[in-house]
Amino acid sequence: MLRRTLMLCAAFGLALPALAAAEIATYKLDPAHTEVGFTVRHFVSRVPGRFNAYDGTVHLDPKDPSTMKVQAKIDATSIDTGNEKRDGHLRSPDFFDTANHKELTFTSKKVTKNGDRWNMTGDLTMRGVTKEVTLDVEVLGFMPDPWGNERAGFEARGKVNRQDFGIRWNEVLDQGGTMLSDDVDIVLRVEAVKEKTQQSSR
């Protein structure tokens, strides 16, 4: 019995270095190399758009993507579809109502493995309504840059129904159907920079 106890203690002791090696790092989105985009069907085509102002962090152990946690805020007024008149309409109460709802937010809740990718489920708040959504995430890798930073790359895709968030404006066509689809495809291409740990002064 004593021998078995000693063996279990030894095995646990060997496992401790591996557990200690897990290190959760914080990566901040790099706006110069990140795209927060979407597409929506307009008649028979797909029209792209994006948001130009946002902030976000990714927390994870680079060796274990299952530890990934994400928080992000998007400035709804920064919507950009390349058409000033259309962007003004999208900011109006018909769509994002940015006068009353300036931000979109996303907070992840869990991550599960899906082949060589990851399913990230979290709460998306848009126009004051919070719904659970799932994103298909690919971890593209980690590497140092020439300026002493560590960079991480991610790509995520998902789909939301705008009706779920109270965005219901549309036009019914005489020949049937509608001008816009309810489904909106989300495309996120993210490059993030690892925050450097601050050394405490003595």
Q: What is the pLDDT of residues 108-163, one digit of tens each?
A: 999 999 999 999 999 999 999 999 999 999 999 999 999 999 999 999 999 999 99
Q: What is the pLDDT of residues 38-63, one digit of tens each?
A: 999 999 999 999 999 999 999 999 99
Distance of CA 179 to the CA centre of its chain: 28
Question: Cα–Cα distance between 43 and 45 in angstroms, integer?
Answer: 6
Are 33 and 154 in contact by the 8 Å Cβ rule? The answer is no
Per-residue model confidence (pLDDT) at position 1? 53
Average confidence (pLDDT) over 9-25: 57
pLDDT classification of 176: cutoffs 50, 70, 90: confident
Which run of H or of E encompasses 37? strand 35-42
With a cut of 50, say whether residue 199 has pLDDT above it: no
With a cut of 70, say whether residue 25 has pLDDT above it: yes
The model's pTM:
0.85
Per-residue model confidence (pLDDT) at position 18? 46
Residue with tokens 């126009």: 127
Per-residue model confidence (pLDDT) at position 15? 47
Average confidence (pLDDT) over 8-30: 65
Which run of H or of E encompasses 16? helix 2-21
pLDDT classification of 21: cutoffs 50, 70, 90: low
Of residues 99, 62, 56, the one with CA closest to residue 77: 99
Q: Which DSSP string corresponds to 47-78?
A: EEEEES-EEEEEEEETTEEEEEEEEEEEEGGG
Q: Computed from CA positions of residues 61, 62, 63, 68, in that sequence, does the dihedral angle turn out positive or negative?
A: positive
With a cut of 60, say whether residue 166 has pLDDT above it: yes
CATH of domain 23-194: 2.40.128.110
Higher pLDDT among residues 178 and 9, named by residue: 178
Higher pLDDT among residues 5 and 24, named by residue: 24
pLDDT classification of 175: cutoffs 50, 70, 90: confident
